Amino acid sequence: MPKQKKLSKNKKPATPQKPAPNKFAFTATNLQYMAIGIISLVLYLNTLFFSYALDDGLFITDNKVTKKGFSGLHDIFTKDAFYGVYGNDVKIKLPGGRYRPLSLAMFAIEYQLFGLAPFVGICSIYYSIAFCA
């Protein structure tokens, strides 16, 4: 027969613990974050209908590595940023080297999932999330 613990007479009963706060409740802080997110989305909404500009050809539309999608990720993380445009001649045409794998990887993944059309819209969502962080 197992031994039972003796309760001391001086011991107070345990007080009930407060429930964990709800992270998604409409508190003042959460409302501020939501307001900032909505404002940033509204500010970037006008970019949804813009076309590609300036360096988008080098990194998105003319970049062979970016257009490979997932299969191009290895080259993105191991080679120069302009390798997809200039190939092995990149060191001759543009000395100095440019290593920018994260933005190219984001473009390659988006190209694999959605094609060329939604790049601008997805970036707008990224910017509004970053604005709140």
Kindly report whether the global pTM for this prediction surpasses the value 0.75. no
Q: Degrees (nearest 5) of the Cα angle 50, 54, 58? A: 110
User: Does 72 map to a domain?
Assistant: yes
Dist. CA 69–CA 106, nearest whole Å: 9
Q: Which domain range does residue 90 map to?
A: 54-132
Per-residue pLDDT of the chain (133 residues; tens, 9 = 90+): 556 655 555 666 666 677 666 666 667 777 888 888 888 778 877 777 777 778 788 888 889 999 999 999 999 999 988 898 888 888 888 888 788 899 899 888 888 888 876 556 677 677 767 766 6
Q: How far apart are the first and last CA of the chain?
A: 58
In the chain, the largest separation of any two C-alpha atoms, in whole Å, equals 86
User: Does 79 map to a domain?
Assistant: yes
User: Does 26 map to a domain?
Assistant: no
User: Does 2 map to a domain?
Assistant: no
Residue 66: both structure tokens together:
């970016």
Count: domains in the chain? 1
Note the pLDDT of residue 77.
95
- The answer to whether 122 touches 113, Cβ cutoff 8 Å, is no
User: Does 62 map to a domain?
Assistant: yes
User: Does 108 map to a domain?
Assistant: yes
